[in-house]
């Protein structure tokens, strides 16, 4: 959309888009609906069916299918996308419902970092058992990479790298603990 609706972000509880998704750029229209909806807000889409002739409406060849509309709704950021059966009341239309779920990304990043730090603390207990510093070093590096990805410059590959290092450290710690003989085991499995 060249111009937005003029509504402020996250101020609406429901958006209705009826018979408009055959326009040139439907995803932009749906993204604007997502922008103005509060978390938990609902999007109702109704459109002319493209599989049968109807007494009114645009040409059949430009009408979107329900599958296309679901894909566009998903591409616009909506979650919990459902079909709505309209055959009893509107035999020439189909319906799609989408729910907007907005996450507080800063809070979510904090939760991820907290669990990563907790995992490294668990590796510290392994250090007491096997006296090998490498798992905690690799885990700490993984946490540092996650902090960088979450708070400095996000990159999916960077985030995944941090998680891989954490998993590698946990596996290495597990292998070292497992190698301890029964006579010297003091930390349990």
Note whether 70 and 36 are same-domain residues. Answer: yes
The rounded percent of the chain whose pLDDT value lies above 70 is: 92
User: What is the CATH number for 91?
Assistant: 3.40.50.150
In a domain, 27, yes or no: yes
Q: Is the pLDDT of residue 184 over 70?
A: no
Please give the model's pTM, rounded to 2 decimal places: 0.58
In a domain, 4, yes or no: no
Structural domain that includes position 159: 105-179
pLDDT of residue 129: 84
Note whether 64 and 134 are same-domain residues. Answer: no
Note whether 16 and 88 are same-domain residues. Answer: yes
62-101 confidence digits (pLDDT tens): 999 999 999 999 999 998 899 999 989 999 999 999 998 7
More confident call, 183 vs 15: 15
Q: Phi/psi of residue 17, each to 5°?
A: -125, 105
Q: Is the pLDDT of residue 181 over 80?
A: no
pLDDT of residue 177: 87
In a domain, 129, yes or no: yes
């Amino acid at each position: 959309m060249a111009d937005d609706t003029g509504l402020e972000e996250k101020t609406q509880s429901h958006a209705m888009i009826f018979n408009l998704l055959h326009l040139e750029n439907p995803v932009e229209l749906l993204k604007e609906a997502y922008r103005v909806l509060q978390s938990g807000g609902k999007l109702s889409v109704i459109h002319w069916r493209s599989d049968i002739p109807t007494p009114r409406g645009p040409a059949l060849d430009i009408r979107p299918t329900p599958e296309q509309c679901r894909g566009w709704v998903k591409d616009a950021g909506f979650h919990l996308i459902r079909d709505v059966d309209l055959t009893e009341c509107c035999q020439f239309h189909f319906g799609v419902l989408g729910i907007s779920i907005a996450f507080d990304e800063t809070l979510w990043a904090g939760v991820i970092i907290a669990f990563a730090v907790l995992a490294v603390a668990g590796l510290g207990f392994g250090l007491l058992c096997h006296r090998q510093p490498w798992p905690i070093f690799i885990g700490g590096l993984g946490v540092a990479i996650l902090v960088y990805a979450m708070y400095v410059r996000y990159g999916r590959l960077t985030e995944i790298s941090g998680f891989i290092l954490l998993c590698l450290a946990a596996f290495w710690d597990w292998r070292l603990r497992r190698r301890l003989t029964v006579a010297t085991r003091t930390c349990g499995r």
